[in-house]
Amino acid sequence: MTDARVLDYWESFLATRADGDDLRARGFLADSFGDSGELADELGALIVSGVKTATCSSVCEWEHTGGAIPREGLMTIVIDGSGAPMCIIETLAVEIMAYQDVTAEIAYAEGEGDRTLEYWRRVHWEYFSRVLPKLGHEPALEMSLVCEHFRVVHR
């Protein structure tokens, strides 16, 4: 069940849009970024500020939850660690690629740390090493990632 705060936020966004009825029919995803409340707050703040315009997740994570891999045009309400809405993003492009093939441009767009590929590799390897074993998988250089580019459409 979706939190009432999220539904109210979605409705207030739709009221500002000429295409609100079309967007309502398409629906939205409500999601936080990261694997802890603290990380959700930190990454959400980077998104709201416009620094973070991309994210990468493991295909295994999507398969485990049964969720559909994001697609162009997807609207996502970004929620913080307490479940409160922070902003709405629209997915602009999605690429599936191996961890080892993530580029410096994607790492920069992720907006984290010093925005280098080296930093990205270190913190994402740590993340996947925490998350994937809980799903019965181990991180690997060849693991498939969902690399999603987005823009903020509502704050």
- Out of 62-71, 72-81, 112-121, 133-142, pick the least confident: 62-71
Work out the end-to-end distance of the chain between its first and last CA atoms, rounded to an integer number of angstroms.
23
Model confidence, pTM? 0.92
Query: Class for domain 4-154, per CATH?
Result: alpha beta
For the chain, domain boundaries? 4-154
What is the C-alpha to C-alpha distance for residues 70 and 147, in angstroms, rounded to an integer?
Answer: 9
Sign (positive or negative) of CA dihedral 101, 97, 131, 114: positive
pLDDT confidence tier of residue 3, bands split at 50, 70 and 90: confident
What is the C-alpha to C-alpha distance for residues 33 and 61, in angstroms, rounded to an integer?
Answer: 13
What is the C-alpha to C-alpha distance for residues 33 and 39, in angstroms, rounded to an integer?
Answer: 7
- Out of 2-6, 132-136, 150-154, pick the least confident: 2-6
